[in-house]
Amino acid sequence: EPEVTQTPSHQVTQMGQEVILRCVPISNHLYFYWYRQILGQKVEFLVSFYNNEISEKSEIFDDQFSVERPDGSNFTLKIRSTKLEDSAMYFCATGVLSRNEKLFFGSGTQLSVL
Amino acid sequence: GQQLNQSPQSMFIQEGEDVSMNCTSSSIFNTWLWYKQDPGEGPVLLIALYKAGELTSNGRLTAQFGITRKDSFLNISASIPSDVGIYFCAANNAGNMLTFGGGTRLMVKP
């Protein structure tokens, strides 16, 4: 069964450092999303991406965050200058339809900011 | 912002028992979804509901989209140990943003 692949599975970084989280979507999927889940809390929407541009973003997705699909395969989330409160599990999700209920989630990247 | 209130937060039941959990909101939604999350994994879609009043089953799971479009429930019949995990409701309207509930942690005693 096709799956969304995320790397790394764990990332530890110092506050103020830049991190890039990577996602390889399922091959025929066109809609890409990042969600995050702070430990013990609900899953929160960050951003959606279609046709090489952001289609929607939440209040969490401020100027420190950016997304791109540089080579047509990897879908990346960059946090420019990490803060302690950025520590969370970050999930990439992809879908073939614009109705995002048909989303397939990756296993996540656990980001720890020290 | 829109919020989904999910209850109960956790359940500890005996294998074979039926389970019921629900999600409510003060906002109307066009789509309700139920996901399961296993430890260290991403959420996996269990059931999607598209119409008010819709009742949909997936094996031992049954979910309903409330007639007011502000709530949904999920039932699991005859629970088994592999049902253990966190169950999330989620909902959306137009656009791409899914709003998630706080989750129900289900524990099953063999």
**pLDDT of B17-73, one tens digit each?**
999 999 999 999 999 999 999 988 889 999 999 899 999 999 999 999 999 999 999
**Residue given tokens 């069964």 in the structure block:** A1
A12: contact with B, CB 8 A cutoff = no
A88: contact with B, CB 8 A cutoff = no
In angstroms, the CA A80 to CA A111 distance is 14
In angstroms, the CA B53 to CA B29 distance is 12
In angstroms, the CA B72 to CA B100 distance is 12
Q: Which pLDDT value is given to residue A101?
A: 63
Flag if B98 and A103 touch (Cβ within 8 Å). Answer: yes
pLDDT at A60 over 80: yes
Q: Which pLDDT value is given to residue A1?
A: 73
In angstroms, the CA B110 to CA B104 distance is 19
Flag if A91 and B42 touch (Cβ within 8 Å). Answer: yes
Beta carbon pairs, A and B, within 8 Å:
57
In angstroms, the CA A26 to CA A33 distance is 12
Chain B residues touching residue A105 (CB < 8 angstroms): 42-44
pLDDT at A98 over 70: no
Average pLDDT over residues A90-105: 80
A97: contact with B, CB 8 A cutoff = no
The two three-digit tokens of residue B73, written as one number: 């429930």
Q: Which residue has the higher pLDDT, B96 or B26?
A: B26
Average pLDDT taken over every residue of chain A: 91
